[in-house]
Chain A
């Protein structure tokens, strides 16, 4: 039997659009996003669930796309970093990461953006300790985290102001 015979057709909702792919059932969500759908903003740093670089949102909640098979995702809403900036405008979190120098190589950054886009909705007034606690699921080898924490605090403040307006 040829490999293609095992392939399954999936219909995924990615960044609000329905995308059909035909893939092997063992294919990881991270690979389907990156290779089949060309959404290479989601990064793969370990493929064993530790580094957090591959974090995407599944129905609004952060998930490790390297630990998820694409076939599990039918009917779920997947959000990737490519959808965060709207009409070329950075989100308050992205803007704050830029202003606070919260990224260097940027390989970890999409995972951190996705984690905190979700977290700041859930907790608009996070403390430094809470931020560090949530951030501990994302490894960053470049920054030492300090500026990322500062950026998240700043983004939270900006989002609160925006919410009031």
Chain B
């Protein structure tokens, strides 16, 4: 791939194009889309974790003023096909689901009926009088119960609730364990999260009966794959569906799948031949959209006396909830695949199990592999504790160095152009560990408990098509773009991504500007409309910059070549070799410097569109270039996070005193946007590690159905983040771009958990379960005294 070190537009801290409309109230989000005559829906949801639907009586609802109809799973089963997920992955059970449940509900919040009315108030009122007769069934709300003998089945078509199980071994970890100086065991339990985009889900479906065409307005990260799903589930051809994504108020992985409610709304619009609008309320979003993360992990590590890792074994069990919108091994697989990350570990084995439970189904949430770095660096800390070593030294002795690269991980993943030791040392020096340890010792004497946690991250990003192929997952990781120079010289471009707030419009315009040779503010990047954008794979897995930006950059370069071929003819040159487009002007290299030719992009465009007879031979009219690009199977970014905390022993309150990130995410398209992503990712990780938790009681009732119960960190709980960029370009991607934006979650979960454990070391308390709530810390500390000899003050 081409290497260019000196960029004109890539890497410039330009401010965002989308800000003006968003700041003035002129953003256009889903619920701002008004389709004349639209009907509104409200879903009737199950109040049980597991129950048989004995009968649904809709008569009272149907009689209410403004109600158009009430529809159930049986209606939807006629109008739509089932979702079948059966990729050829060993150990993964094939699953199917109907659009709405027909005879059985599987979690609290499962949609059982849909009321359609003239407005949302009427639909909500009528939903209250739809009477559903349930026969409650036994439920399973954790993985132990789910896998117990005779457990009630979440999915009756499966032999057990163990929906997926894979194991892997490379080298001989068992033998390493037998020979080891010591074997270190550690546990890591990550709780259930949910995404909480500030804008909930929603959609507006518009069936045009005359043209037999569905237009679906929906905030989505993946417009084209969603269109494919919608078409196939509605038995329509793919050219009978248009997906249009307006501005999206956050996605974080929640806005990828085609959910059952959305398909229902689309089917209803077709059935009723009217536009139909749905806006999810927050209760539905918290209880029934998508959950994430809940998993139980254990490592066993064989080490030598210096803490060198000889062999590593991982057991991971994920609680997947009741429905699979993704193959059930989808997220856990990546954790196991990249676990060894920054460290040199050749003997490695894992056993990954995924169980179904009667809870809302899991999906990928910003850093589906979030737990990874906590497990790995927590394992390092456990080694240091057990052997009495300095945990930074244990990291150093195991860290990959530049001499090790490219490094093939035990799982076969190849790491190159990463800097794990460098980010670690940079973070350690920013923190000044010696000074911290001194402060910590002083504070302990006064009964105050400070802690420092480091967490190094190797973040898998981009996911090219070879990754999907190797994983057996349907789908691809390539991307598509077009660049059009219009007759006036204005530049339009498009790509198959769809932003959900990242701020794509500016950095992607910079990628086009760089490739084409025009100022970025002349470039308009259009995304989210499937009739305008080329078929691309959308936004997920840190692929926006490499797949999206990379494809646009390459496409723009191709467009520049075309422009210069025409310009050469206009300048009576045989070849465009010594020409370039710069700032929208054609320049020629003469006497060792670039000189103006007097030909502008607009002149070339005019020639291309309006004077095609004077184009050079073999050049067709117009300036319309498209390109697809398949990035490497994976690109890796890396970082080290360092977090200083103070734990108030009397209350269990954790405050974050300092937060440092040293991050190497390759060539950066726009540092303003990248920094925003880093801050947001760290914030999301910390919020999750300290406050957020989806809680079900043993009967499967969701107890966290409002934002007063599911706590998201506010401005008072989060610190300022000190972020230090270290940019090693990736040698295989256009312009050296790597992905980013999920690693911050991985590093912050790990660093804060390890910092709290460090603070509580005198009490012998190690954090093994998140979230680190005041209650959980008080429980762990109960009856314990610090070993410093100082009396704990406020017990």
Which residues of A pack against B, CB within 8 Å? 2-3, 24, 26-27, 31, 34-35, 39-48, 50-51, 53, 80-82, 84-85, 90, 94, 97-99, 101, 103-110, 113, 131-133, 135-149
Contact = CB atoms under 8 A, between A and B. Distances in A.
Q: Chain B interface secondary structure, helix, strand, loop or mixed?
A: loop
Contacts of B16: 98, 101
Given A41-B25, A82-B25, A113-B23, A144 B707 contact: no
B715 A107 contact: no
Given A106-B501, A139-B712, A143-B683, A45 B24 contact: no
A9 B652 CA distance: 53
A104 B676 contact: yes
B31 interface: yes
B249 A107 contact: yes
Task: List the 10 shortest-distance A-B pairs measured between CB atoms, nearest first.
Answer: A41-B25, A105-B501, A106-B22, A107-B249, A144-B683, A136-B714, A81-B25, A50-B707, A135-B715, A40-B32
Given A24-B121, A132-B715, A103 B22 contact: yes
Contact of B503 (A51, A104, A110): A104
Interface string B51-74: 000000000000001100000000
Interface stretch (B193-201, B388-396, B530-538): B193-201
A90 B24 CA distance: 8
Contact of B708 (A50, A137, A140): A50
Contact of B676 (A35, A101, A109): A101
B381 interface: no
Nearest to A97: B23
B23 A139 contact: no
B743 to A, nearest CB: 14
B197 A141 contact: yes
A105 B199 contact: yes
A45 B285 CA distance: 10
Contacts of B120: 31
A85 B249 CA distance: 22
A147 B676 contact: yes
A84 B34 CA distance: 24
Contacts of A48: 282, 706-708
A144 B718 contact: yes
Contacts of A45: 198-200, 249, 282
A50 B23 CA distance: 21
12 contacts: A24-B121, A48-B282, A82-B26, A84-B25, A90-B20, A99-B15, A106-B249, A110-B25, A113-B23, A141-B197, A145-B683, A148-B715
Nearest to B197: A141
B161 interface: no
A98 B18 CA distance: 9
Nearest to B714: A136
A104 B708 CA distance: 23
B707 A44 contact: no
A60 B726 CA distance: 46
Contact of A46 (B15, B672, B706): B706
A143 B27 contact: no
Interface in B702-738: 706-708, 712, 714-716, 718, 720-721
Contacts of A135: 714-716
Contacts of B15: 98-99, 101
A109 B199 contact: no
Contacts of A94: 23-24
Contacts of B65: 2-3
A105 B247 contact: yes
Given A105-B501, A107-B198, A107-B199, A82 B24 contact: yes
Contacts of B714: 135-137, 139, 145
A60 B680 CA distance: 31
B500 A105 contact: yes
Contacts, number: 176
Contact of B707 (A43, A105, A133, A139): A139
A19 B20 CA distance: 26
A104 B680 contact: yes
B41 interface: no
Contacts of A131: 715
Given A99-B15, A110-B25, A132-B716, 8 more contacts: A3-B66, A48-B282, A50-B707, A53-B198, A80-B25, A81-B24, A82-B26, A143-B679
Interface in B638-670: none
A85 B197 contact: no
Nearest to B719: A146
A79 B718 CA distance: 30
A31 B500 CA distance: 24
B252 interface: yes
Contacts of A136: 714-716
B707 A141 contact: no
A75 to B, nearest CB: 24
A141 B675 contact: no
B62 to A, nearest CB: 15
Interface in B553-596: none
B704 to A, nearest CB: 12
Nearest to B677: A104
Contacts of A143: 676, 679-680, 683
A41 B24 contact: yes
Contacts of B352: none
Contacts of B248: 105
Nearest to A85: B24
Nearest to A42: B25
Contacts of B31: 34, 40, 44
A90 B26 CA distance: 13
Contact of B718 (A99, A107, A109, A145): A145
B78 to A, nearest CB: 31
Contacts of A109: 22-23
A103 to B, nearest CB: 6
Nearest to A139: B712
B252 A141 contact: yes
B747 interface: no
Contacts of B673: 101
B198 A139 contact: yes
A144 B676 CA distance: 8
A92 B159 CA distance: 63
Contacts of B196: 141
Contact of A47 (B19, B121, B282, B680): B282
A3 B122 contact: yes
B502 interface: yes
A129 B388 CA distance: 40
B561 to A, nearest CB: 34
A1 to B, nearest CB: 8
B68 to A, nearest CB: 14
B250 A107 contact: yes
B682 interface: yes
Contact of B23 (A103, A132, A137): A103
Contacts of A50: 706-708
Among A108, A109, A113, A141, find the residue whose CB has the most chain B CB atoms closer than 10 A.
A141
A108 to B, nearest CB: 5
A148 B714 CA distance: 12
B453 to A, nearest CB: 18
Nearest to B685: A144
Nearest to A41: B25
Given A48-B707, A101-B16, A132-B715, A41 B26 contact: yes
B29 A43 contact: yes
Contacts of B250: 104-105, 107, 141-142
B679 A85 contact: no
A131 B716 CA distance: 9
B382 interface: no
B179 interface: no
